[in-house]
Amino acid sequence: MKAWIADTARPIEPFGDLAAALPVLGTPLARVQADTLSEAGLAPGETPPGDEPFLYVGSRCWFTPSLVERFVTTAQERGLVEKGVRLQIVNEDFQSFTEPLQELDEPGLHELAILPNPGASLRDLPRLRLDLDLQPLELPGLPVALAQVGRPSLPVGLDMVHQVDHWSHVLRVNLLALAALGAEAKQAFQQKPWHLRLWMALLALLGARSFNPSRIAQALTQRGRGCRIHPTASVELCRLGNGVEIGPYSVLRGCVLHDDVKVDEHTTLNLSILGPGSRVGRYAMVNLSVLMEGAFVSAGGGFQVCLFGRNSFVAMTASVLDLSFKGDVKVLHRGRRVSSGSPFLGAAIGHRAMIGAGTTIGFGVQIPNDAQVVRDPARILTRWPEGAAKLVKV
């Protein structure tokens, strides 16, 4: 079956980019869609085919290969291809986690459909309702207070779909894509014959030269060409591009680092995606976040669930709040302040924006492209006042 990716996206603030240009695991969504369709055995074209039914995909829609395969196969088995059908997800747990701010025609109704011809109306198609086979991904180490406010687990698996209509969706889709990588690796291992599984386990132990779980996780990290990792750094279950540099005493877990990323010494990264040429400064902590190409994040108060635009810069001692104890974080969407659907959310830093030292950004805030955020100059000591005592308040 052929496929066609239709342009359905609107610009995502504060970046002004269409969803198709924003990164998923460091790669623009448009390229991810084309690669996913090819992996699922479909041929994406630049125009809709007019001689046969085809798969319609909205340009703002992220999905896994397994989901597309299951959708097409189920439609064929039920004889729904010739008249057309549209995908509708009916997993309540997944919907409650992913649907906030998604602009869906109906709950669970995504921009994935089989059209019998280019003139068919997407809205008039019958629904093919699928319940996703998902498992709860436990988030270990959460304090009791945080577990009560947020979600202690996330529903993830091989079959997932999400539209990108807000900057917070870029974060969520990247985390889902990370989870999908883990689910694919687990399934691929489980499907191999027992003797191959045993051989792979032995290779992992030989690579780690230890039965220590951390050492084994380090041995399973995928490294590109020319990577330089300091012997004191711990890099567990990560995917590293070419030319990556990781400094002394840094700790990375479950991250994707693209080409030429630099991580300075004493840095902590967890479940984050660093785009090409981005950098994290010494003593920084970055969790559940995405750095676009060329972004530079220094050590601050620690950054969680944040999105950093291309060539943005965050100076030392800057901080971003990420947890609301008074309900869901409010964000700006289509000109209105609305709930993000989560009490745990950081900020979006626009392309080329610069965040100065000592500044604090609230949760859910979006900083425009090319903005400069600095401390109030009146609170900065620029010279010692004449005749002042030894104590000066600033």
Continuous segment of H or E residues that includes residue 228: strand 228-229
Q: Where are the domains of the chain?
A: 2-186, 221-378
Between CA 68 and CA 39 the distance in angstroms is: 10
Tokens read off for 202: 């032995």
Please determine, for residue 370, whether its predicted confidence score (pLDDT) is greater than 60.
yes
pLDDT for the residue numbered 284:
94
The answer to whether 80 and 71 are in contact (CB under 8 A) is: no
CATH architecture of the domain covering 221-378: 3 Solenoid (2.160)
Between CA 233 and CA 240 the distance in angstroms is: 14
- pLDDT digits 0-9 by tens, 165-199: 999 999 999 999 998 887 776 655 455 564 454 54
- pLDDT digits 0-9 by tens, 47-59: 888 778 999 999 9
- For the chain, the first-to-last Cα distance in angstroms comes to 67
Pick from 206-210, 217-221, 354-358: least confident:
206-210
pLDDT for the residue numbered 189:
47
Name the CATH topology of 2-186: Spore Coat Polysaccharide Biosynthesis Protein SpsA; Chain A (3.90.550)
The whole model's pTM is what?
0.89
- Burial of residue 182 (CB within 10 Å: 0-12, 13-18, 19+) is middle
Look up tokens 């290969």; give the residue. Answer: 65
SS3 label, residue 127: strand
